[in-house]
Amino acid sequence: MIVRRTVFHAHAAIENLGDRLVVEAVRETLRAALPDHTLVFEDASPAAESLRHRVRAPLAREARRAIESADLALLGGGELIGPFREYLGVGLVAAAAGVPAVWLGVGGAVAGGRTDRVYTRFVLRCAEAVVTRGPHSFERLRAEVPDARLHEGVDVAFGWTPPDDADDPPADAFGICLRGPERRDRLWDGAAFVRLARQIDAIAARGLRPVFLTFLSARDATRIGSPNLDESFHSDAEVHAFVRKHMRSEGAEELVVEGDLTGTVRRLRTLRFLIGMRLHSLVLATQCGVPFLALDYAPKIAELTDVLGCGEWRVRPEEVDTRMPALAARLCLPAELAARAAALRSACETLRARALAQLASVIAALDVQRTPARRRTRRTGAVLLQHVAALHARL
């Protein structure tokens, strides 16, 4: 017997290739894990071309109805930085409606003011499970919300299967994928990007052509959706333009890849290595067996490289002129490239298995019964906090 289940899927509140990767990974892994279920996704993601359920506080009436009629609210990853950011409003509506909720791929820690922290802790305590994207996030959240049902997981995106492709030899090119850092992140200022431009020139002088991979090309901060973006760089394209302006080498290519996972994978496989700042550019590179240098701008980069066992390939902004030249020189050696690629493929297989295993909490939550008593126990607090959130949003 085929069971029909509706999942309100709130991942990827902004439009870039990494968010598309998360969406595809969640759907692929859930459908593979539940072959006897017909899964219907009510999607909150603009990346899925659905603008009906943009995640805001307070949520629109239509979005609330979709959540309340779902069997499960599967909520997004990212940083937990306060009640009016991304997915916390969905968790509150789910708690008020008695809908089982699972947080998958959560990173960061509880932050914000007193009201923000109360709100966040309440939502996490109401969840059936909170699965972090790594050990650092797990420890930070356990310190803040010890009574939540926390599980240490891995980045959701490792559950996605890249398309098969011919093993063509890499071209004489290397990739660069940058982004505008947010104010709360490690500082990559203009001077650091100028130093990076010099290092890209030095690599190009070895006979390799730079290829800039743009995950997010929009220059409209509203579309990006984050209130914390540095005013200097509203998109990947702007960061790339700044770096290219300070490069002396010619022939660099700009490739806009947002939304095109298959095309991005094919192009990644033709590159010798990647200099990556975006988290999911590093995840995709790992899945393709492409060695990388990780530009450390936020705790999630350190967490990912530690999980992969390649912390030595992480470069901080102050290390661009010191550690980066030697690391880049190693990546230009065929033997080093082959060893790094083999290590990444091995790590990726392990993380893919863990990504599939962490769905056990999602599957268990689908079987949780929505009873009147369950709804009553949480409804009062959830509704009160919804009113507080609505009032706060108007201020």
Q: What is the pLDDT of residues 238-257, one digit of tens each?
A: 899 999 999 999 889 999 88
Question: In this prediction, what percent of the chain has a pLDDT beyond 70?
Answer: 77
CB count within 10 Å of CB 318 equals 12
pLDDT digits (tens, 9 = 90+) for 76-118: 767 665 555 556 777 888 888 888 889 988 887 777 777 778 8
Kindly state whether residues 184 and 111 are assigned to the same domain.
no
The CATH number of whichever domain residue 186 belongs to comes to: 3.40.50.2000
254/369 same-domain check: no
- pLDDT tens string 202-246: 999 999 999 999 988 875 544 444 444 555 677 888 899 999 999
Q: What is the pLDDT of residue 135?
A: 94
Q: Is the per-residue pLDDT at 298 higher than 90?
A: no
Average pLDDT over residues 124-130: 90
Mind listing the pLDDT tens digit for each residue in 315-330?
A: 999 999 999 999 999 9
| CATH value at residue 95 | 3.40.50
Residues 290 and 324 in one domain: yes
> For the packed helices 17-33 and 279-288, what is the interaxial angle rounded to 10 degrees?
60
pLDDT over 90, % of the chain: 40
Which residues sit opposite 315 in a β-bridge? 295
pTM: 0.88
CA separation for the pair 199, 332 (Å, rounded): 13
Gap between the Cα atoms of 144 and 119, Å rounded: 13
236, amino acid identity: D
The pLDDT value given to residue 65: 79
Backbone angles phi, psi at 209, to 5 degrees: -95, 130
Query: Which of 318, 335, 351 is the last residue in one of the domains?
Result: 351
pLDDT band at 61 (very low <50, low <70, confident <90, very high): low
On whether residue 166 sits in a domain, the answer given is no
Question: Could you tell me the pLDDT band of residue 11, with boundaries at 50, 70 and 90?
Answer: low
Q: What is the pLDDT of residue 183?
A: 64
pLDDT surpassing 80 at residue 172: yes
Of 40-49, 66-75, 251-260, 269-278, give the lowest mean pLDDT range: 40-49
| Shared domain check, 331 and 195 | yes
Contact 363, 351 (CB under 8 A): no
Tell me the average pLDDT of the chain: 82
pLDDT value of residue 228: 46
Q: Is residue 386 part of a domain?
A: yes
Q: Based on the domain organization, do 141 and 211 belong to the same domain?
A: no
Extract the tokens encoding 64.
């609330």
pLDDT of res. 226: 47
Which pLDDT value is given to residue 171?
A: 77
| Tokens matching residue 230 | 């540095």
Are 310 and 226 members of one domain? yes
What total of structural domains would you count in the chain? 2
Give the mean pLDDT of 361-380. 70
Answer yes or no: is 210 within a domain: yes
Residue 162 in any domain: the answer is no
Residue, of 57 and 136, whose pLDDT is higher = 136
pLDDT band at 50 (very low <50, low <70, confident <90, very high): very low
Q: Are 107 and 128 in a shared domain?
A: yes
pLDDT at 47 over 50: no
pLDDT given for residue 362 in this prediction: 86
User: Which pLDDT belongs to residue 134?
Assistant: 93
Instruction: Look at phi and psi of residue 187 and say left if phi exceeds 0, alpha if psi is from -120 to 50, else beta.
Output: beta
Beta strands per DSSP E along 89-239? 101-107, 129-132, 150-152, 173-177, 209-214
User: Do the domain assignments include residue 58?
Assistant: yes
Q: Are residues 294 and 362 in the same domain?
A: no
For residues 178 and 249, membership in a common domain is answered with yes
> Is 167 a domain residue?
no
223 and 181, same structural domain? yes
Structure tokens at 49: 């071309």
The reply to whether 224 and 319 lie within a common domain is yes
Q: CA-CA distance, 91 to 351, in Å (whole number)? A: 27
Provide the domain limits for residue 257. Answer: 173-351
Asked if the structure places residue 36 within a domain, the reply is: yes
For residue 153, name the pLDDT band (cuts at 50, 70, 90).
very high
Looking at the domain assignment, is residue 231 inside a domain? yes
Same domain, residue pair 218 and 271: yes
Query: Cα 224 to chain center, whole Å?
Result: 14
> What integer pLDDT is reported at residue 117 of this predicted model?
80
Query: Which residues lie across from 275 on neighbouring strands?
Result: 176, 293
